[in-house]
Amino acid sequence: MRLENDQPLPDLVALDATSATTSLQEHIAGRWAVVLFYRGHW
């Protein structure tokens, strides 16, 4: 999927550092954010 300028990021639900489920939309609601996806070791 490719996002264009000013297109919102789709909601992403993932586990945080404490293994609790968190929603990206809820976590950054109303604020600017930088989202980094780290693939880890190949």
Domain map of the chain by residue range? 12-42
The rounded distance, in Å, linking the Cα atoms of 2 and 21 is: 25
37 pLDDT tier (thresholds 50, 70, 90) = confident
User: What is the per-residue pLDDT for 42?
Assistant: 64
Indicate yes or no: pTM above 0.75. no
Cα torsion 39, 13, 31, 2 to 10°: value is 60
Q: List, in order, residues 6 or more apart from 15 with CB less than 8 Å away.
A: 21, 22
Name residues whose C-beta falls within 8 Å of residue 10's C-beta, 6 or more positions apart in sequence.
1
| Model pLDDT for residues 11-35, shown as the tens digit of each residue | 889 888 899 998 988 888 888 888 8
Distance CA 33, CA 1 (A): 19
